[in-house]
Amino acid sequence: MHNISDPALISRALTVDHENDQKPGVPKVAFMFLTRGNLHLLPLWDLFFKGYEGFYTIYVHTQPTFNGTFPESSPFHGRRIPSKKVEWGKFSMIEAEKRLLANALLDISNQRFVLLSESCIPLFNFTTVYNYLVYSTKNFVEAYDQPGPVGQGRYNHRMRPDVTLEQWRKGSQWFQMNRELAVEIVSDHKYMALFKRFCKPACYSDEHYIPTFVSMFYWENNSNRTLTWVDWAMGGPHPTRFGRYEVTPDLLKMMRHSDKKCIYNGKKTNICYMFARKFLPSAVDRLLRIAPKIMKF
């Protein structure tokens, strides 16, 4: 915790790389949790992180009204950052994401940055996830051009000429990126202000700002996919939720090994996702029983 304002935090985060002449030691993955309150899947994540201290850093952004605490035995203990109110579908979601990134950039050892929610789970053990992220040559920001009202229809022509309809993209907010891209996003003020002004419900900035920004300037190093599995088959504004009775070994095996091929470091693979959502609190006991067998942790 600290009492640094957001502008001062961003300013300090952007000086870290310039002030450190020496290269960082072991690269760490920053796991950034954007939550409403309690982490109801905490026992699963505790098991995931156990024994890998020094290879990760945890950051938790909750609603400021949340008064809960994490057990001292948990790696999440003391990892909450100063937070502000976040409303679903509002620009405060982007501000929270950048607040998490800025806090994580203060640690020069953090080389990969992963955005997660309280309903996310890991699909593989820590070693597999760490290696997949750290040794990737690409960022994982989903970005696609979608015709229709929930894609191109959300574009506001008043964003021209800085952002055109041809440049407009949509994608999952659950990203995984390297330090270079994290710095560029945290340092951006021009396009952030543009989206804050012109992308308001039924335009949702968390689905458009980073995908559009990355596609405009950093597309060469982007995979155009997310590593977080989600099921939108039911339709509507929210993905399928998985509770106690939906969690089975077959479900997790399906999430772990996609029936479609994706590209990783130039080669085709069916291991396309490292995380999945959206899991309910009732699923935690079933996950703890299955994880040692399926996820190998």
Cβ distance 255 to 228 under 8 Å? Answer: no
Instruction: Give the whole-angstrom CA distance, residue 297 versus residue 50.
Output: 9
- Residue tagged 């088959």 (tokens): 233
**Residue 85's closest CA among 63, 68, 60?**
63
Structure confidence by residue, pLDDT tens digits, 276-292: 999 999 999 999 999 88
**6-294 CATH choice from 3.40.50, 3.90.550, 2.40.30, 2.60.40:** 3.90.550
**Axis crossing angle, helix 92-105 with helix 179-187, rounded to the nearest 10:** 130
Residue 22, pLDDT score: 66
Domain parsing of the chain, residue ranges: 6-294
Residue 3, pLDDT score: 81
What residues have CB less than 8 Å from 168, skipping those under 6 apart?
145, 151, 152, 154, 155, 208, 212
Q: Please compute Rg for the chain using Cα positions.
A: 19
Residue 24, pLDDT score: 73
Q: What is the pLDDT along the chain (297 residues), one digit of tens a residue?
A: 688 899 999 999 999 998 877 667 899 999 999 999 889 999 999 999 999 999 999 999 999 999 988 999 999 999 999 999 999 889 999 999 999 999 999 999 999 999 999 999 999 999 999 999 999 999 999 999 999 999 999 999 999 999 999 999 999 999 999 999 999 999 999 999 999 999 999 999 999 999 999 999 999 999 999 999 999 887 667 789 999 999 999 999 999 998 889 999 999 999 999 999 999 999 999 999 998 899 998
Instruction: Give the whole-angstrom CA distance, residue 255 versus residue 272.
Output: 9
Helices (H), the chain: 6-13, 16-19, 42-49, 92-105, 126-134, 179-187, 190-198, 205-217, 249-256, 284-294
Cβ distance 44 to 121 under 8 Å? Answer: yes
Residue 175, pLDDT score: 98
198, two tokens? 């012109």
Structure confidence by residue, pLDDT tens digits, 146-163: 999 999 999 999 999 999
Output the 3-class SS for 81-129: CCCCCCCCCCCHHHHHHHHHHHHHHCCCCEEEEEEEECCCEECCCHHHH
DSSP state of 203: S
Q: Is 135 helix (H, G, I), strand (E, B) or coil?
A: coil
